[in-house]
Amino acid sequence: MIHHGLWDYDLPAAPTLMDIVVDGKPIKAVAQVSKQGFVYVFDRVTGEPVWPIVEKPVPQSKVPGEVSSPTQPFPTKPAPFERQGITVGDLIDFSPELRREAEEIISKFDYGPLFTPPSLKGTINLPGWAGGANWTGAAFDPVSKMLYVPSQTGAIVVKLSPGDPEKTNFKYMRSRGVTRVSGPKGLPLTKPPYSRITAINMNTGEHVWMQTNGDGPRERVINLGLPDPGPLGAGWSGAPLLTETLLFVAQDDNGRAVLRGFNKDTGDVLAEIDLPAKPWGAPMSYYEEGKQFIVIASGEGKNARLVALSI
């Protein structure tokens, strides 16, 4: 998936096994979601890509003495499920003032398309180390052949600085002074959504729907005297739980712990259930004495608990 990795784009989640039909041909496939926003799909019998994965030129390292890979592999299908790379056109634009401030912020760093390498000036990487997709992975429906991928849009800055010869023999080290990059007025740097769920038809490789997940900084925008932008997406989405009829995703939505039930076919939110603590684990469903339950690991430290909901 990566040549000479410079971005911490290790594969974050377990792959998904699926039986699909592509152009009339049954394929036993394996799909891998990634931090960089791609789904890599292979025939799990032969190891061949289901759709071509092509080598494309990428920006080269400006760090003295470093030689980065001239190309990286890009899947031709499915299309990316997350924003990749950053340009001025991607910046927040709820108002002209916010756009100007965002442009001033990114001018302090190097930035560009996906796989723009870290630099001595500091490079904005989007997606960042947390994705894209993360450990929460994806859910597959074996009947409809739909893959559901929760993801987040979070820019980070990776800056290198000379290594201390008393501590390391590396010429350059990652600077710990700059890692996160915020936008103007404490808002994100880019346009929304900041968290989303994407549904992909794995028989065709086409996106079927994308739904913003959570309000995110919606209230902060309103408090600036700007029009209500609607749901913007919170930063982190939990692992998906798929049943015969529904898709569930838990989330910490700007301090609100919530479990949402989605229509699998359209992405419409059908229910929101408040949780007593931040959800961390993947929700699971089970039957007990004829009643269906959903249970999810929530909270931290002494507040850690299993929260069970009955239907």
Q: What share of residues in the chain are helix, strand, coil (percent, to 5)?
A: 10, 40, 50
- Residue 3 in domain: no
Rounded average pLDDT per 10-residue block, the chain, 311 residues: 95 97 98 98 98 98 96 98 97 96 96 97 94 95 98 94 92 82 93 97 98 96 96 91 94 93 97 92 92 93 92 77
The pLDDT of residue 235: 82
CA angle (37, 43, 49) in 5-degree steps = 55
Q: Which residues contact 24 (CB under 8 A, 6 or more apart)?
A: none
Which backbone phi and psi does 273 adopt, to 5 degrees? -115, 120
The pLDDT of residue 178: 64
Distance CA 206, CA 209 (A): 9
List of E strands, the chain: 16-22, 25-33, 39-43, 53-57, 71-75, 123-125, 139-141, 146-152, 156-158, 160-162, 172-174, 195-201, 206-212, 236-242, 246-253, 256-263, 269-274, 284-288, 291-298, 305-310
- Residue 271 in domain: no
- Residue 272 in domain: no
DSSP code, position 154 = -
Residue 252, CB-side half-sphere exposure with 13 Å CA sphere: 12
- Residue 275 in domain: no
Distance CA 107, CA 198 (A): 31
Into how many domains does the chain fold?
1
The pLDDT of residue 270: 97
- Residue 302 in domain: no
- Give the count of beta carbons closer than 10 Å to the beta carbon of residue 222: 12
Q: Which residues contact 13 (CB under 8 A, 6 or more apart)?
A: 32, 33, 133, 134, 135, 136, 137, 138
Q: Which residues contact 198 (CB under 8 A, 6 or more apart)?
A: 81, 148, 149, 151, 207, 209, 210
Structural tokens at position 244: 């015969």
The pLDDT of residue 307: 93
- Residue 241 in domain: no
Distance CA 115, CA 73 (A): 11
- Residue 138 in domain: yes
| Parent domain of 222 | 16-233
Distance CA 98, CA 112 (A): 20
Structural tokens at position 230: 């609607």
C-alpha R_g of the chain = 21
